[in-house]
Structures are given as structure tokens and as C-alpha cells.
Structure 1
Amino acid sequence: MKLEVRGIDEGQPIPERFAFGVYSPTDHMSFGPNKNPELVWDEVPEGTRSFAVIMFDPDVPSVADDVNKEGKTVSEGLPRVDFFHWLLVDIPADVRRIPEGEDSDGVFPKGKPGGPGPIGVRGVNNYTQFLADNPDMGGTYCGYDGPCPPWNDEIVHHYHFEVFALDVASLGLDGAFDGNDVREAIKGHVLGSARVTGTYTLNPDLR
């Protein structure tokens, strides 16, 4: 398979229009346009009955004690975990494109709804956990929400956009399914896949 994420070149910085958080010289971070990028894929395997999209950041700190704290840094040596930013399943087999801004256009406090979206079925991303204790933002975040790494992190984060061609029309996922549920559900059903990776940081020393 071939995947193009329009506006994002392999290994290069992700434009701010796709970000949940953008750099602010006064407050470290402010909300970004949070548009999903346009995905276009081709060279689909024979027998494909649906597609799934996963976007994740493998560079998220496993311990959040120092995240976004004045006078602190998130150490480069801290173990890292996956943070899911975008989950779409049951995308029909005749679809080859998700337009820019189709699944997300702006930051929605308390999150966008899950279930069937403009294209496919939305899963729950990890902003649900990250913002759970914020009274203004806490809620269930579904579909696409873009990069917003800690502004005091010592490393640049990597964001993997993946499309999977599957041999089933539906993964049978409903309710509040997450990234691990999608990864488990696609096991044994992947006919092909493609990935594009972009980078992002809010640390002014790394920009």
C-alpha cells in the first residue's frame, strides 16, 4: 500500500494547522486549529473489505509528574508509552481519501462524539485520560485530536499515521473502544498497511 498525508513530509515537522496545541511565547501553549490532515491511499490489496486508521505518538512520558510544570523538564531518559490521537475503523472498502478537516476542525472542549463519524467509526483517543482532571476540558475525546506534546519535554515527538487494509467489513467494535482495542481487533485481518511519520515539539529550544 501507499499512503500520502498531504502537508506532512516523512520525518519532517507537522504544520501547526494539524495541532491541538501550538507554541505560545507567553503561555507556552495555546489551542491550535486541530484539523485532521488529508489522507490519501492507494495500491490496495485484493480482498480488502474495510480500512482502519490509527495515529499515535510513541514518545509520551510514562510518568506525568513534571509535564508542563514551570522550572521542571521531562527527562529524555524517561520511559515512553503510546498515546493514540486518531482512531477510525469500519471505513468502507471503496474509500481512498479522508479530506482535511473532515474528522476534526477545531478544539472541542470535552471532546467530539464517538460512534459513526463523517467517515468510519470513531474510537476514543488518549486526550480522554490526559484531560480527565481538567474541569473545563474533561470528557470523552473521539476521532482526531492532533499533537500537543509537553512544552518542557527534552525530546521531539514522532507521530505515526497508519492505514490498514482489512479482510473484514467491520471489526465489531462499538462503545468506548480505544487504541489497544483496535490493535487487538485487527490481528489476523491485515492484508496490507502503510505509514507516514511526522514530528512535533512545543519546546522552544527544540523548534
Structure 2
Amino acid sequence: MSNNPFAGLPEVAAFQVTSKDISEGLPLSREHYSGIFGVEGGKDLSPHLKWANAPEGTKSFAVTVYDPDAPTGSGFWHWAVINIPVDVIELPTGAGDEIGNGLPQGALQLPNDARAARFIGAAPPAGHGPHRYFFVVHALDVENIGVDSNCTPAFLGFNMLSHTLGRAVLMVTAEIDK
């Protein structure tokens, strides 16, 4: 679990992200696990996120959710939302459903590693141990990051590299016993 998803990226300003549903370092509740991937009690419900104190010059936000501990060699991207207007500082619980019901106008969900343009909840393999899930709000210096709606979250990350002014990070865990 030593892999750091921010290693090798330029340092940027930190700002705050909080949630009514999840807390830093604590396990996810079952509703945020993946029923789509067959986890009992999983509802693939994206948690509430609220952020504050983004760096000066921010013109939009992106939200990503990443599990670096997935046994894939490349982790697993669970959610990516782009082009969130700068005046939006909160996403409600469930915003990441299949139609983006709670997303602001202009925001767009990209396909995750399951190739679904929605939030996919936690589904660590049974007995694999705890996984970390990084919920990250990225403050960007452009209104539109300019990526195709079918691009991968990894491609998004590459394109955000030179446009990221700050990151707000909330890390939670999930584990399924054998």
C-alpha cells in the first residue's frame, strides 16, 4: 500500500474537501460499494462532496475517484467528472448515477475503468486487504479541460497536468473479508 497516486506529479496548492457521507481515513459505508460488481448491499452511490478555498485563478473543477491498490498494475478509476463550473462547490449524494442527476449543467462524467460514465462503488477482491479510495477535487485554470467524452480518466489526468492549480483530497478505505 505504499504506492502514492500523486508521486511524480507537480506539487500544487492544497484546499479543503469534506463530505456528509465519508470521512478521511475511515471505511466507506456499504451504500458506496458496488452492487454493479456484485457486492452485497452495494448501491454504487457517489458520496456528497463539498469543497472550499480553491486557489486564485480557478476556472473550473474536476472530480476523480481512484483506487491505487486494485490488483491491476495500474489501479482502478471509479469516477471522473469534468467541466464543473467554478461557482459550484458541492455535489450531492448520488450525483454520479447513470444520468448524472445531481451534476451541474455543463459537467460531464467520463467512462471509468468499467467503461461506465457514472460512479462505480468500491469492490476490492475478497481477502485482498484494505484498499484506499482517493476522492480528489482538482482546481483547474481552464473552464473546459477539452477532452473527448469517451476519454479515459488516465488521459484526463495527463491533460490536467499543466492546468491543475490545486487539489483537495479525501482518502477513505474499503475491504471485503474472505
Question: Is the TM value for this pair above 0.5?
Answer: yes
Structure 1 distance, partners of 2:157, 2:93, is 24
Q: Give the direction of change, closer, same or farther, for the CA distance of 1:113–1:87 in structure 2 (3 Å limit).
A: same
Structure 1 distance, partners of 2:102, 2:158, is 22
Unaligned runs of 5+ in 2: 1-14
Contact 2:91 2:102 (8 Å CA) reproduced: no
State yes or no: 1:95 paired with 2:88.
yes
The Cα shift of 1:33 comes to 1.8
State yes or no: 1:118 paired with 2:103.
yes
Counterpart of 1:41 in structure 2 is 51
Aligned length: 161
State yes or no: 1:12 paired with 2:5.
no
User: SS where residue 60 of structure 1 aligns?
Assistant: coil
State yes or no: 1:85 paired with 2:78.
yes
Q: Give the direction of change, closer, same or farther, for the CA distance of 1:96–1:29 in structure 2 (3 Å limit).
A: closer
Structure number with bigger Rg: 1
User: SS where residue 81 of structure 1 aligns?
Assistant: coil
Counterpart of 2:63 in structure 1 is 53
What amino acid sits opposite 2:176 in the alignment? L
Structure 2 distance, partners of 1:184, 1:117, is 26
Counterpart of 2:10 in structure 1 is none
Identity of aligned residues (%): 32
Q: CA RMSD in A?
A: 2.1
What amino acid sits opposite 1:148 in the alignment? A
Counterpart of 2:138 in structure 1 is 164
1:98-135 deviation per Cα after TM superposition (whole angstroms, max 9, x unaligned): 0001222xxxxxxx369x9833111110123xxxxxxx
Structure 2 distance, partners of 1:9, 1:175, is 30
Q: 1:179 aligns with which of 143, 149, 153?
A: 153
1:147-179 deviation per Cα after TM superposition (whole angstroms, max 9, x unaligned): 0111132x2111000001111000111231111
What amino acid sits opposite 2:163 in the alignment? H
Structure 2 distance, partners of 1:117, 1:186, is 23
What amino acid sits opposite 2:23 in the alignment? D
Per the normalisation by structure 1, the TM-score is 0.72
Counterpart of 1:133 in structure 2 is none
